[in-house]
Amino acid sequence: MLLRGNHEDKNVNKYLGFADECTKRLGEDTNDPNSVFAKINEAFESMPLAAIISDKQQRIFCCHGGIGPTIQDIEGIEAIQRPFEIKLGVDHSDNHQKVLDLLWSDPHETDEESGFQHNYARDP
């Protein structure tokens, strides 16, 4: 199973050069809703945000970023409807913040740090 990460967002992958690559290689207008760029990003918006791998002995929770302060339980993640478009600075809903937490709540760089710290690159 593939999980959605923070690069599976049209604004992020456009900034990082995916739209330019589609324009150069395919000669397309990436603003066209029928472009390869648009269709791939539609697929990204439908990808699962998290998964649980389970056997008789254990359950492993998987997501790209981590568990941010808005993630309280699995049911809250399951309730997020897809496709889901990230709208930074526009959408302030609980579900939007949960998606951002799952995609961008990276662990601390050292074991000496603990707790939650805001990601000012994502949430200025």
- Least Cα distance to 95 among 62, 73, 71 occurs for 71
Q: Residue 80 falls within a domain, yes or no?
A: yes
Q: Residue 93 falls within a domain, yes or no?
A: yes
Q: What is the pLDDT of residue 124?
A: 44
- Residue 100 CA to residue 119 CA, distance in Å, equals 10
Q: Residue 90 falls within a domain, yes or no?
A: yes
Give the structural domain span for 90. Answer: 10-104
The structure's pTM equals 0.81
pLDDT by residue (tens digit) across 65-109? 888 888 899 999 999 999 999 998 888 888 999 999 899 887 666
For residue 59, what are the β-bridge partners? Answer: 54
- In sequence order, the 6+-apart residues with CB closer than 8 A to the CB of 33 are none
- In sequence order, the 6+-apart residues with CB closer than 8 A to the CB of 50 are 3, 61, 62, 63, 77, 102
What is the domain count for the chain? Answer: 1
Name the DSSP class of 63.
Answer: E
- Residue 77 CA to residue 111 CA, distance in Å, equals 27
Q: Residue 2 falls within a domain, yes or no?
A: no
- Mean pLDDT score, 48-69: 90
Q: Residue 73 falls within a domain, yes or no?
A: yes
Q: Provide the pLDDT confidence category of residue 56 given band limits of 50, 70 and 90.
A: confident
Q: What is the pLDDT of residue 28?
A: 94
7 has catalytic annotation: yes
- Residue 53 CA to residue 1 CA, distance in Å, equals 10
Catalytic residue among 7, 64, 92, 108: 7
Q: What is the pLDDT of residue 111?
A: 66
Of the chain, the percentage scoring pLDDT greater than 90 comes to 60
- Mean pLDDT score, 23-28: 96
Q: Residue 5 falls within a domain, yes or no?
A: no
pLDDT by residue (tens digit) across 101-121? 899 887 666 667 666 666 666
Q: Residue 31 falls within a domain, yes or no?
A: yes
- 22: tokens are 């589609």
Q: Residue 115 falls within a domain, yes or no?
A: no
